[in-house]
Amino acid sequence: MSKEIKLALMYRDMWQSSGKYMPRVDQLVQVAQPIVDMGCFDRVETNGGGFEQINLLFGENPNTSVRQWTAAFRKAGIQTQMLERGLNGLRMNPVPKDVRQLMFRLKKIQGTDISRSFDGLNDPRNLAYSFQYAKEGGMIAQGALSITVSPLHTVDYWVSLADQFVELGAEEICLKDMAGIGRPATIGKIVKGIRARHPKIVIQYHGHSTPGFSVASALEAAYHGADIIDVGMEPLSWGTGHADLLTIHAMLKDAGFLVKDINMKAYMEVRRLTQTFIDDFLGYFISPKNREMNSLLIGSGLPGGMMGSLMADLESNLKSLNSWRQKNGKSPMSQDELLIKLFDEVEYVLPKFGYPPLVTPYSQYVKNVALMNVVQMEKGNARWSMIDENTWDMILGQQGRLIGPIDQELQNLAKEQGRTFFDGDPNDRLEDQLDVYRKKMAEKGWDVGLDDEELFEYAMHPQQYEAYKSGVAKQKFEEELASKRDRKQSLDVSNIPASTKPSAGKDTTKPKVLDIDVNGEKYRVTVSYPGENSPAHKVVDEVFTKVVEPSENGREQFVSSPLEGKFYLTKEVGEKGVKVGDKIKAGEPVAYIEAMKVINVITSPYTGTIAEILVNHGAEVSEDDHLIKIV
């Protein structure tokens, strides 16, 4: 009798691999029943990863989204699965154990059946609690191997890692080929090795299609014992996403496997609805490049899931770099030229970092440092001159063990900066936080929510949750969308004669900044006017900036931003940042820039007194913007 192969639809990952955002909850609910009616899926990936942060950025409640989005699948008996990042939970940095424990219990209550848990470093210690908490919460614990190609990542390594996951409590194993660079023959050998040691365990294959291997890899996985294959579907299959349902279905059927029939009427409805979501607004955040397959990624190994953010990062850094080149009498660089330089630098950086798997968040770290290296070296600066704090945590072992050694040059640099390496269990560095956030919510008069779900969101995503509660997140999203629409409209009318084009309409006669005197104290005030898209402010210190007079010699210096991003005075909620009047020394941290999903510490080049903080906490800044004035 032929073996049955089940199919899982990656509806969440389809969007995340294509662009910045995902459908709103009303859209997800609309498409859920047609997905059920297709009749060919045993599993649907509904949430996890960046899903809930995106809800918050929309101004939506993530808990409402998960409950409503999973309802149709629960009713139909289709299993729902989420993606979680082990030590990092649903975010990019480590999460305390009590918050993660609540997550698994809560997500099961909200309707998620399976937790696909992966660790970006494949460190089993970082997944032990995930397997334990998932099972305690009533979920199926699936351990994911973050597939990477390197001299150290052999077939024996992967099979042995699966053994360790099973020993720690994993009930299923997934080959998570997030970059799609796993070679088909090797994928088959890994599945065969796991199946030989664990005859009854469920094995699922997940492969992105970016470099073109995933169809052959899926077939090899099926031939050697895989039970479930993950797929995407039009209009978001291929490219940086996943192999298409129709292709995988036909291939498996032709190979003699049993697969459920597809209701093509329902398929066309899901396809139509997905396209309407793209046409509505999501298409503004999808780069056309992400709809293409790219074999150049075979060498760098960067995953399809991050290509949306990569192209956006590339665009902003290219603009900055070309501005510098123009000022220095050099010809501009094309995006393709910068992309090839980036890929080459990723290949250079990867072994220096000890071969971290290129999966969230470490793919982001490697890409960011590689990009910063390229940009800095193009400007005549040294390699490694811009390593963000998150990447340092990885290098130093604070997030788990790397499979290979850290390059001596980086070890020396860490020593020069007074950084120390850590070889203990990363879980031991984290103190429980639920009671801290429970207290914060009580002080703010916020309800912890049904099953403590609001408490969980606040503890998991503090900054995003506060922005959601204040309404700032929704406002900023609407401003971003309006900007995208305006840009498209301007491109659409670019051929209209200048004399017939509407005026930009900006009134430059109105003051934007005023210096005022309050009881003898001088303050600088940011002014906004009705109808303008200006950020909302809750905290007085974010609007009023105390002005300190220049020193007697009149000397004033500025701390400038080394890159484009979001300005913060503190790294964590509850920390106290620098303020006007503080004495600082050269080399001391004074602020942070969040860029490309990581935190970059900004140090003062000068010793002196903070005279003025020129940028609001949370505001967007450009490269070389003045952030803080020092006298």
Average pLDDT of span 240-246: 95
Average pLDDT of span 241-248: 96
255 domain-assigned: yes
pLDDT band at residue 292, thresholds of 50, 70 and 90? Answer: confident
The pLDDT of residue 541 is: 38
Spatial contact of 163 and 122, defined as CB atoms under 8 Å apart: no
The pLDDT of residue 393 is: 92
191 domain-assigned: yes
pLDDT band at residue 31, thresholds of 50, 70 and 90? Answer: very high
- Cβ neighbors of 470 (< 8 A, separation 6 or more) are 536, 538
448 domain-assigned: no
349 domain-assigned: yes
Average pLDDT of span 573-591: 83
The pLDDT of residue 77 is: 97
pLDDT band at residue 511, thresholds of 50, 70 and 90? Answer: low
pLDDT exceeds 60 at position 529? no
Q: Give the DSSP H or E segment for 143.
A: strand 140-146
247 domain-assigned: yes
The pLDDT of residue 467 is: 94
The pLDDT of residue 478 is: 94
Give the span between the Cα atoms of 46 and 68, in whole angstroms: 11
pLDDT, tens digit (0-9, with 9 covering 90-100), for 54-66: 999 989 999 999 9
Average pLDDT of span 51-55: 92
| CATH number of the structural domain spanning residue 115 | 3.20.20.70
The pLDDT of residue 264 is: 98
Average pLDDT, the chain: 87
pLDDT exceeds 70 at position 399? yes
281 and 319 part of one domain: no
223 and 319 part of one domain: no
pLDDT band at residue 6, thresholds of 50, 70 and 90? Answer: very high
The pLDDT of residue 289 is: 77
Percent with pLDDT over 70 in the chain: 87
pLDDT band at residue 248, thresholds of 50, 70 and 90? Answer: very high
Q: Give the DSSP H or E segment for 222.
A: helix 214-223
pLDDT exceeds 50 at position 540? no
- Cβ neighbors of 596 (< 8 A, separation 6 or more) are 309, 313, 364, 367, 368, 371, 565
Give the span between the Cα atoms of 68 and 32, in whole angstroms: 10
282 and 324 part of one domain: no
| CATH number of the structural domain spanning residue 601 | 2.40.50.100
pLDDT, tens digit (0-9, with 9 covering 90-100), for 418-444: 999 999 999 999 999 999 999 999 999
308 and 378 part of one domain: yes
Out of 35-49, 66-80, 293-307, 493-507, least confident range: 493-507
Out of 114-118, 229-233, 474-478, least confident range: 474-478
272 and 301 part of one domain: no
The pLDDT of residue 159 is: 98
In the listed set 271, 290, 309, which residue is the last one of a domain according to the structure?
290
Spatial contact of 38 and 274, defined as CB atoms under 8 Å apart: no
pLDDT exceeds 60 at position 534? no
In the listed set 268, 290, 312, which residue is the last one of a domain according to the structure?
290
Q: What would the 3-class secondary structure string for 245-295 be?
A: HHHHHHHHHHCCCECCCCCHHHHHHHHHHHHHHHHHCHHHHECHHHHCCCC
pLDDT, tens digit (0-9, with 9 covering 90-100), for 135-146: 999 999 999 999
Supply the range of the domain harboring residue 518: 513-630
101 and 220 part of one domain: yes
pLDDT exceeds 70 at position 547? no
Q: Which two three-digit tokens encode residue 585? A: 């020394």
pLDDT exceeds 90 at position 603? no
In the listed set 244, 268, 290, which residue is the last one of a domain according to the structure?
290
394 domain-assigned: yes
216 and 237 part of one domain: yes
Spatial contact of 225 and 191, defined as CB atoms under 8 Å apart: yes
Choose between 222 and 316: higher pLDDT.
222
530 and 598 part of one domain: yes
The pLDDT of residue 326 is: 87
Choose between 496 and 176: higher pLDDT.
176
Q: Which two three-digit tokens encode residue 431? A: 């103190």
The pLDDT of residue 495 is: 56
pLDDT band at residue 532, thresholds of 50, 70 and 90? Answer: very low
pLDDT band at residue 565, thresholds of 50, 70 and 90? Answer: confident
108 and 30 part of one domain: yes
The pLDDT of residue 273 is: 98
193 and 133 part of one domain: yes
- CB count within 10 Å of CB 578 equals 19
Average pLDDT of span 83-102: 95
pLDDT, tens digit (0-9, with 9 covering 90-100), for 338-348: 888 988 999 99
The phi-psi region of residue 280 (left if phi > 0; otherwise alpha if psi is between -120 and 50; otherwise beta) is alpha
Average pLDDT of span 592-601: 76
472 domain-assigned: no
Average pLDDT of span 608-622: 87
346 domain-assigned: yes
Average pLDDT of span 510-533: 55
240 and 332 part of one domain: no
The total of structural domains in the chain comes to 3
395 and 529 part of one domain: no
Average pLDDT of span 597-616: 85
pLDDT exceeds 70 at position 45? yes
